[in-house]
Structure formats: structure tokens, C-alpha cells
Amino acid sequence: MLGIFRFLKRYGDFFLFLLLLSISLVLLAQNRARAGSVINRWTFNGMNLVTEKINLIGNYYYLNEQNRALQQENKKLYEQLYNRRPVLGIPKGFHFIPAEVVNKNYRSGFDFIIIDKGITDNIAPDDGVVSSQGVVGTVRALSNRFAKVITIYNPQFTLLVGLPQSEVTGFIQPDYRIFPLVRVTDVPFEAEVSPGDTLVTTGNSLIFAPGIPVGRVDSIRIDTQSRTKVLLLRPFTDFRRFRLAYVIHHNLRQALDSLNNEP
């Protein structure tokens, strides 16, 4: 026993060094494992973020291509609908030119937009413009590659609208004070129309093909002086979100307009 104590006294410092060294190595290994776990977690999260962004970019371009394909398909369906054999005097010859909205005027109630089609795309002043939801407006000014479209909210816009399969008609008269609604005036007092009814284009000119949805009646007022009804209409087109449009062009419209304007 005395020999053991002498041995420990002589080599105690050495054994203490080995003990502390072992503890240090264990702690170092644990720290490295923890650091490696953190690094691996950061790397994993980073790779997930990059993959997510790549997927978003890929999905954007894929959906953009899908939207263009659907736009072309809608164009074909529109033209098949309005160029079919005439029924009840529905005119033929309407062409639908796909376009994209490149600018919107938000400040004064979406009263005009800019589209990426112009003179070189066979677009003419006063051509009608629609979305997949309904009427948008009419072309007011043109350059070679772009067109300015006054919308259904513009004070200069006017359109004869009516109930489907009915003789009830009225004129759209935009009014900023009731935005996002528009006013429909000159509706006969005896006309049978109710809130929730849909109004469509009448096709009285070659600006808009007949039967295109315009909006839904929100409420009805009575003009006691003229003994007519005034409809407050909520347009179907969502001007905050829509991006794809169709310009309606008819090759014979300008010739017809010139005759209508003859004294």
C-alpha cells in the first residue's frame, strides 16, 4: 500500500494531465459534433431555400406558358362563337387579338390601361377590349406597338347594354363617385329587371360582339323626372387582377361607322 502511494505521488501530475486531456478531447468531440450539426442544418435549410426559389421560377415560367396557351385557346373559342353561322342577325367577322396589360391607371379609378398591341397588330381606334370575365373598354390611342384603352370607368366611355334575350336596354355612364360601380341610364320604367341580373353587350355596333358579359345589377333607383330606372352595375372584370385581354376587331366596322356618320 505504501508503494502505491509513493507511485501516485511520483506520477500523480502525469495521470492528472492524462485525465484532463481525456476530458478535453471528449468536450472537443462533442463541440465538433454540435457544430457539424448546426452547419449541416444551415446547409440543408440553404439548399431547401435555393430549391424552393428554383421551383418558384420554374413554376412562374410554366404557368406563364400555360396562360398563353389558354389565351390562344380562348381566342379560338371566341372566334368560333362569333364567326359561326349567323343566328338572329348576329354578325360574323369578329377577330380576337390577345394582348397583355402593361400598365394600369390606379389613381383615378382604373379609367385607362395600356396594352402591348398596336397598329402593327391590325388594331384600330374604338376597337372593343374584353377580358376573360367581360367588357374592359375601347381603344382610344395607338402607337405601333401599344394601345391606350379607356375602361368602363372612364367618363368618356359609353356602351349600350341590355338583359340577355330581352328588349330591355340602357346606356353605361361612368361616375367616379360610385366607383367601383357604374351607372346604367335610360332604362324604361316598366322594364322587368332585378338586382343580381346580368347585363351583356347588345351588338348594336361592330365594336363589341353581342352577348359579352358586362356586369351584374347591384341596385336600382328611380329617376322621377324622366320616369326611367337607373341601374347601378358592378362590372365583372376585376381590374385589380386581370392581366390578359382581347382586342375585338372587325374589318367592316370603320366602313359601317363612316356610313352612320354621314349627314
Pull the grid cell for residue 240. Answer: 385589380
CATH number 2.40.10.340 is the correct assignment for the domain at 95-260: yes
CA dist 165 to 86, 88, 186, 210, Å? 16, 11, 18, 11
Burial class (CB in 10 A: 0-12, 13-18, 19+), 139: buried
Where do we find the cell 366607383? 179
Give residues with Cβ within 8 angstroms of 249, minimum separation 6: 94, 95, 96, 97, 122, 123, 124, 127
Q: What pLDDT was estimated at residue 250? A: 83
Q: What pLDDT was estimated at residue 166? A: 86
Render 112-169 in DSSP notation, one character per residue: EEEES--GGGT--TT-EEE-SSSEEEEEEEE-SS-EEEEETTSTT---EEE-TTSS-E
**Quick check: 209 and 248 in contact, CB under 8 A?**
yes
Distance CA(9)–CA(170), nearest Å, equals 113
Q: What pLDDT was estimated at residue 234? A: 96
pTM of the model: 0.66
Q: How does pLDDT run along the chain (263 residues), one tens digit per residue?
A: 555 555 555 655 655 666 665 666 656 655 554 545 544 555 545 555 555 555 555 555 555 666 666 666 666 666 555 554 433 344 577 888 999 999 988 666 788 999 999 999 999 999 999 998 999 999 999 999 999 999 999 999 999 999 998 888 999 999 888 989 999 999 999 999 999 999 999 987 788 888 999 999 999 999 888 899 999 999 999 998 888 899 998 877 666 655 555 55
Give the distance, in angstroms, between the CA of residue 3 and the centroid of all CA atoms in the same chain. 94
Distance CA(140)–CA(143), nearest Å, equals 11
CA dist 90 to 96, 183, 213, 246, 261, Å? 16, 27, 16, 20, 22
Domain ranges of the chain: 1-82, 95-260
Pull the grid cell for residue 8. Answer: 501516485
Three-state SS for 240? coil
Which residues make beta-bridge pairs with 104?
Answer: 113
Buried b (16+ CB within 10 A) or exposed e, 66-97: eeeeebeebeeebbeebbeeeeeebbeebbbb
